[in-house]
Amino acid sequence: MSECDNMDSSAKAYSKNIQKAIKALQRGEMILLFDLEGREAETDFTIAANAVTPEDVRWMRKDAGGLICVALDSEASEELGLPFMADVMREATQCSTALHKIVEKGGDLKYDSRSSFSIWVNHRDTRTGIPDNDRALTINKLGEIVDRTLAGEEVHFGSEFRTPGHVATLRAAKGLVHERMGQTELSIALAKIAGITPVMVVCEMLDDENGRALEKTDAKQYGKDNDLVFVEGEEVVEAYDIWLSSQ
């Protein structure tokens, strides 16, 4: 079966670049995902959680340098009981009044109305949770547990994972890119289009010289030099709408 056979019938309507990105993700390869000018304007390394190896974790921390996070779609997050971290903290204000002033509220973020952070986890088979092999295991197991729930298995997240941990989970908005344009939603939209498990790893590219988010032009150049597809949020939204109308 050719790689194109893995795509739905609307595959031909996607731009060439999106088709390349979809094929790369289906092969378990890394792509580069820029959100939007005027939002974070960041480029994230992006790869399917099921495909991640310890070498990918090393690559992300050395060449991307941001936070290694795992995005899950809204349904999977609900199924596993992964709440938004801000909601957990708001609940906790009942125990600690100091938290009142700390918890994220509307207007706090300069680039969006809210963050997508859920809880931080480690798989229970990890030791400290931070080495590359531990993080890869936690990430793979997040993909695996979602596959099992999608197959109808009853799972118990807490029997397999603990929090706090060293892998940040992100909960995608229910309306995905129509509700929020973060890499959380963009990566999950790509997973839906590609027909892969909606559990995706993202990690921001930072500039080694100045510590800021890597400029888009430099991220694009990195993509060219390393043969990685570079996609922008707007292209993803266009493809997602085509995919949605074919469902």
Ligand X SMILES: O=C(CO)[C@H](O)[C@H](O)COP(=O)(O)O
- 111 included as an active-site residue: yes
CB of 118 to ligand X, least distance (A): 11
Whether the CB-CB separation of 191 and 198 falls below 8 Å is answered with: yes
Pairing of strands 230-232, 31-34: parallel
- 204 included as an active-site residue: yes
Residue 40 near ligand X by CB under 6 A? yes
Given candidates 69, 177, 199, 200, which one binds ligand X under the rule CB under 6 A? 69
44 annotated to bind ligand: yes
The interface with ligand X within residues 164-193 (CB under 6 A) comprises 170, 182-184
- The number of helix segments (H) and strand segments (E) in the chain equals 10, 7
238 annotated to bind ligand: no
CB of 80 to ligand X, least distance (A): 18
Measured from the CB atom, the residue of 40 and 73 that comes closer to Mg ion is 40
Positive or negative, the CA dihedral 185, 149, 241, 232 is: positive
- 122 included as an active-site residue: yes
- 153 included as an active-site residue: no
Q: How far apart are the C-alpha atoms of 189 and 203, rounded to whole Å?
A: 17
* Apex 128 CA angle, 191 and 79, nearest 5: 35
Q: How far apart are the C-alpha atoms of 8 and 246, rounded to whole Å?
A: 8
Q: How far apart are the C-alpha atoms of 214 and 209, rounded to whole Å?
A: 10
Residue 232 near ligand X by CB under 6 A? no
Q: How far apart are the C-alpha atoms of 230 and 130, rounded to whole Å?
A: 28
Residue 77 near ligand X by CB under 6 A? no
- CB count in 10 Å sphere of residue 216: 17
Given candidates 77, 116, 138, 140, which one binds ligand X under the rule CB under 6 A? 116
The size of the interface with ligand X (CB under 6 A), counted in residues, is: 16
Residue 183 near Mg ion by CB under 5 A? yes
Given candidates 44, 132, 232, 235, which one binds ligand X under the rule CB under 6 A? 44
CB of 127 to ligand X, least distance (A): 24
Identify each DSSP E strand in 49-193 by its residue range.
Answer: 69-72, 117-123, 161-171
Residues at the contact surface with ligand X, assessed by CB under 6 A? 35, 40, 42, 44, 66-67, 69, 112, 115-116, 170, 182-184, 202, 204
Which residue ranges make up the annotated binding site for D-ribulose 5-phosphate? 39-40, 44, 180-184
